[in-house]
């Protein structure tokens, strides 16, 4: 599994990917495929939910020549496989294996439900097809789910565009009866209906598809700028600068009083059962106070706390080397280890302290960060927190005791 700026990408060739997809279609468990490109990867750096969903996919295809170049810079093996490449293959497989295909077609796109159905039924004779025009705001509402469950599709093609297609697939995968494979294909269907014209093969081969799109749609210049200049500047920084730097991080100590007792909030990491720690995150250039307030609000879904104190850069630690991070097997599929958006040398941690003034019902942890939370008496925190975080916690507790 390759990794570009924190997003895991498949190292499989097109031929190997097709075999893996056939394996999924022969199984009984619903799986989903994502097709990130440079623009989607950049968007995921500001959208933690999207970042999480992309990295939870069963197959992640590199949809963009820029990812192939980034792979060369970062020493990763990348095969470019676009949604436009894999969509016709899925439709042909469905025709051959007599599988049902459902297409969620975005109303704001170029193609309409009727013409998609007519063209695909003519091109892929005897294909069993359901096409539904929906708005992004609907994103698999109850009525749409009911229609899909009556049809019982084996394959779901979602054209809502990122991040709507990835999020709607992830949150509804378990609700769709009989489904085997879901994939976000963006505007790939428009190439089949001829509503959009793909770049000539030679331009795709040499990586100039972006120029073709710019010439045909000059208004895309902002998106192309981000997908080229902004993306590659981050790749270069990740490769040559960040490994020499320490990332600025803030650990958030949230406490409450219950009579004579003081309790501190601990959260369990989503990616590791039993790994308890305090909420934390990057400062992103903000002050410790501002970053701490933001991290607590984002990770706990509440602002029911009062700032008490902050301490700048009180602890420093190295990240694990990539080779030391372990993959996990889940339901027969190997899940790659958690990666960071930017591989810094390690982190310099500051401390933000706040008092909780709400009710536990006010707390709504984000599933992409943590699986659960609990309040731990101050004297028991060092026994509960994960061993790798104990040294830092001792320092944080001493700082905390100095202000209460």
pLDDT score of 270: 93
pLDDT score of 343: 78
Lowest mean pLDDT among 38-52, 315-329, 338-352: 315-329
pLDDT tens digits for range 287-300:
999 999 999 999 99
CATH superfamily of 247-401: Nucleoside Triphosphate Pyrophosphohydrolase (3.90.79.10)
* Cα distances (angstroms) measured from residue 230 to each of 38, 39, 79: 9, 9, 22
DSSP state string for 178-241: T--EEEE-TTHHHHHTTSS-PPPHHHHHTT-HHHHHHHH-GGGHHHHHIIIIIHHHHHHHHHHT
**Cβ atoms of residues 44 and 51 within 8 Å:** yes
**Cβ atoms of residues 94 and 154 within 8 Å:** yes
Give the tokens for residue 270: 């989503």
Whether residue 342 is predicted with pLDDT greater than 90 in this model: the reply is no
pLDDT score of 215: 87
Look-up of token digits 């996990």: 328
**Cβ atoms of residues 17 and 81 within 8 Å:** yes
Cα 245 from Cα 243, distance rounded (Å)? 6
Whether residue 217 is predicted with pLDDT greater than 90 in this model: the reply is no
Whether residue 122 is predicted with pLDDT greater than 60 in this model: the reply is yes
pLDDT score of 338: 58
What is the enclosing helix (H) or strand (E) of 68?
Answer: helix 65-74
* Cα distances (angstroms) measured from residue 288 to each of 74, 94, 225, 319: 32, 54, 32, 21
Residue 324: which pLDDT band, with cuts at 50, 70 and 90? low
Beta strands 128-134; 100-106: pairing state: parallel
What is the enclosing helix (H) or strand (E) of 147?
Answer: helix 142-151
**Cβ atoms of residues 13 and 33 within 8 Å:** no
Whether residue 252 is predicted with pLDDT greater than 60 in this model: the reply is yes
* Cα distances (angstroms) measured from residue 307 to each of 166, 310, 353, 361, 389: 36, 8, 6, 20, 23
Task: Provide mean pLDDT across the span 104-118.
Answer: 96
Lowest mean pLDDT among 107-111, 178-182, 199-203, 341-345: 341-345
Strand partners, 265: 375
* The dihedral sign for the CA sequence 186, 190, 192, 193: positive
Domain with CATH 3.90.79.10 in the chain: 247-401
Task: Provide mean pLDDT across the span 318-332.
Answer: 60
Look-up of token digits 């949604």: 83
158: left (phi over 0), alpha (psi -120 to 50) or beta: beta
Strand partners, 347: 247, 317
Distance from the first to the final alpha carbon of the chain: 48
Look-up of token digits 């700032």: 307
Task: Provide mean pLDDT across the span 86-99.
Answer: 97
Whether residue 125 is predicted with pLDDT greater than 70 in this model: the reply is yes
Whether residue 155 is predicted with pLDDT greater than 80 in this model: the reply is yes
**Cβ atoms of residues 372 and 268 within 8 Å:** yes
DSSP state string for 383-399: HHS-GGGHHHHHHHHHH
Residue 337: which pLDDT band, with cuts at 50, 70 and 90? low
Cα 133 from Cα 4, distance rounded (Å)? 34
Q: What is the pTM of this model?
A: 0.92
Lowest mean pLDDT among 169-178, 180-189, 220-229, 314-323: 314-323
Residue 216: which pLDDT band, with cuts at 50, 70 and 90? confident
Cis peptide bond prior to 178, omega within 30° of 0: no
pLDDT score of 336: 58
**Cβ atoms of residues 84 and 191 within 8 Å:** yes
Look-up of token digits 């659960």: 372
* Burial (0-12, 13-18, 19+ Cβ within 10 Å), 208: middle
How large a percentage of the chain has pLDDT more than 70? Answer: 95
Whether residue 320 is predicted with pLDDT greater than 80 in this model: the reply is no
Chain-wide mean pLDDT for the chain?
93
Residue 194: which pLDDT band, with cuts at 50, 70 and 90? very high
Whether residue 25 is predicted with pLDDT greater than 70 in this model: the reply is yes
Cα 84 from Cα 189, distance rounded (Å)? 8
Whether residue 256 is predicted with pLDDT greater than 90 in this model: the reply is yes
pLDDT score of 207: 84
Residue 340: which pLDDT band, with cuts at 50, 70 and 90? low
Q: Please report which residue ranges of 269-378 form alpha helices under DSSP H.
A: 288-300
324 compared with 399, residue with greater pLDDT: 399
Query: 400: closest CA among 252, 206, 261?
Result: 252
Q: What is the SS3 assignment for 148? A: helix
Task: Provide mean pLDDT across the span 74-98.
Answer: 95
pLDDT score of 296: 97
């Amino acid at each position: 599994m390759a990794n570009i700026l924190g997003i895991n990408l498949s190292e499989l060739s097109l031929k190997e990917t097709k075999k893996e997809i056939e394996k999924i279609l022969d199984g009984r468990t619903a799986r989903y495929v994502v097709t990130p490109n440079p623009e989607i990867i950049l968007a995921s750096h500001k959208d933690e939910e999207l970042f999480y969903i992309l990295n939870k996919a069963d197959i992640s295809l590199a949809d963009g020549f820029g990812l192939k170049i980034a792979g060369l810079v970062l020493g990763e093996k990348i095969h470019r496989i676009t949604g436009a490449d894999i969509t016709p293959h899925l439709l042909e497989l469905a025709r051959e294996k007599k599988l049902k295909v459902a297409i969620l077609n975005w109303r704001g796109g170029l193609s309409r439900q009727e013409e998609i159905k007519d063209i695909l039924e003519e091109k892929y004779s005897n294909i069993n097809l359901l096409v539904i025009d929906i708005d992004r705001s609907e994103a698999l509402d109850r009525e749409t789910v009911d229609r899909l469950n009556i049809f019982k599709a084996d394959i779901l093609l979602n054209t809502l565009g990122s991040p709507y297609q990835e999020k709607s697939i992830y949150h509804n995968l378990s609700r769709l009866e009989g489904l085997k494979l879901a994939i976000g294909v963006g505007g790939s269907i428009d190439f089949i209906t001829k509503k959009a014209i793909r770049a000539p093969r030679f331009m795709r081969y040499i990586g100039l598809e972006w120029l073709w799109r710019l010439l045909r749609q000059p208004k895309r210049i902002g998106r192309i700028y981000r997908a080229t200049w902004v993306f590659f500047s981050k790749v270069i920084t990740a490769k040559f600068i960040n490994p020499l730097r320490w990332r600025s991080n803030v650990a958030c100590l949230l406490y409450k009083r219950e009579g004579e007792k003081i309790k501190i909030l601990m959260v369990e990491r989503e990616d590791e059962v039993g790994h308890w720690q305090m909420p934390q995150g990057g400062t992103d250039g903000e002050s410790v106070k501002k970053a701490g307030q933001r991290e607590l609000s984002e990770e706990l879904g509440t602002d029911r706390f009062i700032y008490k104190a902050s301490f700048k850069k009180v602890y420093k630690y190295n990240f694990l080397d990539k080779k030391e991070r372990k993959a996990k097997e889940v339901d027969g599929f190997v899940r790659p280890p958690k990666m960071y958006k930017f591989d810094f040398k390690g982190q310099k941690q500051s401390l933000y302290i706040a008092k909780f003034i709400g009710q536990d019902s006010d707390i709504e942890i984000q599933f992409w960060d943590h699986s659960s939370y609990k309040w731990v008496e101050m004297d028991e925190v060092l026994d509960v927190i994960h061993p790798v975080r104990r040294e830092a916690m001792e320092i944080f507790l001493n700082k905390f005791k100095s202000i209460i």
